[in-house]
Every structure is written in C-alpha cells, then in structure tokens.
C-alpha cells in the first residue's frame, strides 16, 4: 500500500499521494526544493510544513519551486511538505532538487514501494533504475551532464 504519512517513508524520500499531498521524511533541514509533477499540471500549492516554515511555494505548469527570502527552512522530520491541486493524472514526481538552509544539495529520492514500478523482464532499457536512465557517470537517475568539451560534470557544478 502507498504511504499515508511522511513518517512511513525512508529517510530523504518524498511521495505524491493520490489527493495531491507531497509527503516527506528528512533527517536534514530543507531550505528549498523544486520538482516536476509527471503527467499533470499544478493548479495551486498550499499548506504543509513548507508554508509553516515560511517558504514561498510557486508553481508554473508541472514545475513547483519553493524557497525562502528570509532564511526559513523546514526542520528535520516527516510529514506533509505541501499540498498540490492538480489537473491531470499524476504519475509521480521527477527532477528533484532539494537544498539545505544554506543552499547545499540534499539527495532526495522519489519513493517507489518495493520497486513495484520497475520492470524486471528486461523490456525497459534499464530494468533496475526507477527513472530508466543513467547519467554520464553511470549513476541511476544522476544529474551529471556532458559539457561543451565532452567532460562529464555534475549539474550542480
């Protein structure tokens, strides 16, 4: 069964419920975040621990961005990060970018129960990688890209 609250998730994971709640579990403070909703557009985002912490939560199309102008951050813990009103049938969240209170990268993952959505019959290109892609460093769902000179660099560099 899908998680019904953030405390059911492993550490450093988020999950989108069918009613649009973005659940989280984090051992680190969250100073900001961005993600895309797969298969749906965001009509609005409100509430949750992001709003309680004073983060500004903005959406455009299927992308959500949350940040603080005053240095606020979501304290370590678990719960509902924000609540989304969605148009369309959301399949999950992707392109996760999370940062701590001083802008350092946090490595969050989208929760997939028991790898239930993975294909083990080799009918997909990378059967043991949830995002079905590897970056140029060979990391499943990694963010490294080839630069102009053909060097593999982290997207955060």
What's the predicted TM-score (pTM) here? 0.72
107-152 pLDDT, tens digit each: 999 998 765 555 545 555 555 666 666 778 777 777 887 787 878 8
Q: pLDDT of 60-91, one tens digit each?
A: 999 999 999 999 999 999 999 999 999 999 99
Token pair belonging to 67: 């940040």
């Amino acid at each position: 069964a899908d998680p019904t609250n953030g405390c059911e998730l492993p550490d450093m994971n988020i999950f989108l419920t069918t009613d649009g709640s973005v659940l989280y579990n984090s051992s680190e403070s969250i100073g900001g975040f961005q993600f895309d909703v797969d298969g749906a557009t965001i009509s609005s985002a409100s509430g949750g621990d992001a709003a309680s912490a004073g983060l500004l939560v903005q959406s455009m199309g299927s992308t959500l961005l949350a940040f603080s102008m005053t240095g606020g951050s979501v304290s370590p813990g678990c719960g509902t990060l924000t609540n989304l009103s969605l148009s369309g049938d959301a399949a999950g969240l992707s392109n996760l970018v999370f940062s701590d209170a001083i802008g350092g990268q946090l490595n969050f993952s989208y929760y997939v129960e028991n790898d239930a959505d993975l294909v083990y019959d080799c009918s997909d290109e990378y059967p043991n990688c949830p995002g079905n892609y590897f970056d140029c460093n060979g990391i499943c769902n990694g963010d490294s890209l080839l630069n102009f000179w053909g060097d593999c660099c982290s997207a955060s560099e």
